[in-house]
Structure 1
Amino acid sequence: MLWGPVQVPGRMPRAGLLLLPLLLCFRPETVGSINTATLKQIVDHVNEYGVKAQYSFAVSLGQAYCQDGSPRKGLPSKKDLENMKKALNQEDGLYDPDDGRIVAARVKYLNAVAREHSEWRLLHSDQNRKSPVQKLLARTYGQNSCLIFFTLNSPCAGTCLRESGTYNIVDMVSDAFRPISKNYKAFVFQQIYPEGLMPQDLLDAWHRLHDVPLLRCDNNDCRDCSKKDPNINRCLDRR
């Protein structure tokens, strides 16, 4: 008689336990419950109405859409996206409507050297007014929601991520994203802002952003930027 392994009810056989890590390695890449393929679809769809200049947008969607891309009716309407494009085509453009699922901004030039970056314009609030992102969340966000913040160029180390800078967005990003489940939020950029930084210095700056996963979505795919080693971080440009 041939004897096989004794199986205890409710317990996985040893061979299954050995195979589990291998199987996990081949699961589709996700960040929490946001499917990266779906994330690329969302970014690509909105970018069809974007501009060929630095701009940012924040979009509030249903959790189901962030998981598997359905239903499509959860996306911002075509009318909203066309209105966004019209606003962004203006100098210093800002799209901050009273309704809808999306807000967006371009850079605002204050003088020859000073400017309000697009990320800061969407996240900044003061005692007299809420930020566009705060207003977006107030009218759309609930227990079954997902928030994506996109910026064309990665937030720059010299202004957006400068720890003592006037236009620092680090705390504002944390304030906006901290209350949201880690499975349903993402901070996304498409290309790296050219600052001439060494790869490790660039990663150190990016990792000042807390309370939200950072990803890069370009023509290839969407990928996680959390690795601290520049040799294995897939978000860096490779020479």
Structure 2
Amino acid sequence: MAEKFTVFLSGLLLLFLLPDWTESVEDTVDINTLATVDINTLTRIINFFEQNYKRVAEEDGFHYQYATAINVPKDQCQQNFNLNTFLTQENASIVKEDINDDSNALYQGEELIAAGTRKVVTKKYYYYMHSESLLLNPANNSPMTNLLNKRNDGCSVFYTFNSPCVNTCLNAKGSHNILDALKNWKQHDGIKAFVFRNFWTADENKTDLETKFKQIVAHVPLFRCVSENECYACNGEGNTPIDEHCLPPPPPKKTNIEL
């Protein structure tokens, strides 16, 4: 009789604790879900950038390089994304005007920052500072730093039209590299996504492009959005390879032709 009573009490104790245990499991699942951008929503976000901020030459339709970054509430990167409440504090005309002025090429708003390419003139020559560097440097006091500080647990997405160049942006020894900024971004709470569309022309045939892209993945998730309805997670964490959609196609194999 005593054994039955002990078992009965154990059952009551289990039933008493079960609701709290179940709630804890659900909370954990919710947290993990919040940490990942919804890929379909990401497609809509990048499409919004392309429709509103893309830099296009009037004479021939050439697409110039530009980059943008947002820090918005988490739900704006999940399935309940609402276009009617997205970046309502930003004026697209002002954004485009600012980033197309190559003397500055920078826009800083409430939830959005954007950049074109800035013309830098020296005594002997001039060059254009890349849009990724304009937004992410100096690493500890950049437009991106200020944007992230406005919302500690929001969804932050960085989008660049062309992939970061190997010789400058992804060169750890270069003065304009973005790697230190990505390390800082890693510490920011909330959802994160680094996204590109095209491959920088000079890097399409680089054999070490996967290794270079893994430098990004080491800090933030990398994605490629190739069209208005097609985005891919690049993966590449640890020993995992970068997804083939995020790398240029391999060059055609040479064949020996017998005469």
TM more than 0.5:
yes
Choose which of 73, 77, 82 in structure 1 pairs with 2:88.
Answer: 77
Partner of 1:95: 107
Aligned partner of residue 215 in structure 2, secondary structure: coil
Q: Deviations over 1:192-237 (max 9, x none)?
A: 001245465111111112320011112151111224546x522123
Residue 144 of structure 2 is aligned to residue 133 of structure 1: yes
Larger radius of gyration: 2
Partner of 2:43: 40
| 1:32 Cα offset (Å) | 5.0
Corresponding letter in the other structure for 1:125: P
Partner of 1:159: 168
CA RMSD of aligned residues (A): 2.5
Contact 2:148–2:188 (CA under 8 A) maintained in structure 1:
no
Separation in structure 2 between the aligned mates of residue 31 and residue 110 of structure 1, nearest angstrom: 41
Residue 119 of structure 2 is aligned to residue 109 of structure 1: yes
| 1:66 Cα offset (Å) | 0.7
Choose which of 191, 195, 200 in structure 1 pairs with 2:198.
Answer: 191
Corresponding letter in the other structure for 2:179: V
What residue ranges of structure 2 are gaps of 5+ in the alignment?
A: 1-32, 57-63, 251-259
Corresponding letter in the other structure for 1:44: N
Separation in structure 2 between the aligned mates of residue 123 and residue 31 of structure 1, nearest angstrom: 25
Partner of 2:223: 215
Partner of 1:233: 244
What residue ranges of structure 1 are gaps of 5+ in the alignment?
A: 1-29
| 1:90 Cα offset (Å) | 1.7
Name the CA shift for 1:120/1:72 in 2 (closer, same or farther; >3 Å): same
TM superposition score normalised by structure 2: 0.70
1:141-156 to structure 2, matched below 5 A, reads 141-143=151-153, 145-156=154-165
Residue 190 of structure 2 is aligned to residue 177 of structure 1: no
Name the CA shift for 1:149/1:188 in 2 (closer, same or farther; >3 Å): same
Contact 1:216–1:224 (CA under 8 A) maintained in structure 2:
yes
Name the CA shift for 1:32/1:234 in 2 (closer, same or farther; >3 Å): farther
Aligned partner of residue 211 in structure 1, secondary structure: coil
**Over 4 Å off, 4+ runs:** 196-200
More divergent stretch after superposition (70-79 vs 212-221): 70-79
Contact 2:71–2:112 (CA under 8 A) maintained in structure 1:
yes
More divergent stretch after superposition (47-56 vs 151-160): 47-56
More divergent stretch after superposition (43-52 vs 220-229): 220-229
